Structure 1
């Protein structure tokens, strides 16, 4: 079943362009190593925080990629440009 990992975070003023560049490079690297990484969607919320929703073909694929990402330098570089970071995982039950 399709799984999503939702990251919620804020970005300090002046760091958005750098964060977006790091995020793009991070996504490209993860995607090249993990064909089960289906999509990433970034949403700016009304309060100025962001939802970054990463979609995977399955929970197993997501967990394998998450373990491999622990040693991927761009993960730390990208996260260092965010604050108040939380992660929520879930399964997509219905899309219309």
Structure 2
């Protein structure tokens, strides 16, 4: 089963364009640098909050990615647009996409 990372964060309105502009480079960095990265879906929520749903092959892949932090420019630019993290959770998908 796939590991799912759920990160809810707050972005001030003035930083939304910066966040969205940085997203493609962040995803490209994840694809090249993060073993086990499967895909990610960004969801806009009410109250200037966002939810990033990231799927990893294993929990170990997710832990390794987390330890790397914002080690590449695309990832760093995306994280820089975030005001603060509201919550971060890890779960297991019971229905994997085929």
Verify the 8 A CA contact 2:25 2:75 in the aligned structure 1: no
What residue in structure 1 maps to residue 66 of structure 2? 66
* Structure 2 unaligned spans of 5+: none
* Structure 1 unaligned spans of 5+: none
What residue in structure 1 maps to residue 12 of structure 2? 12
What residue in structure 2 maps to residue 51 of structure 1? 51
Q: Distance in 1 between matches of 2:35 and 2:82?
A: 26
Q: Give SS of 2:6's match.
A: strand
- Aligned length, in residue pairs: 96
Shifted more, 67-76 versus 80-89: the winner is 67-76
| TM-score (structure 1 length as normaliser) | 0.81
| TM-score (structure 2 length as normaliser) | 0.80
Structure 1 stretches (4+) deviating beyond 6 angstroms? none
Q: 2:33 matched to 1:33?
A: yes
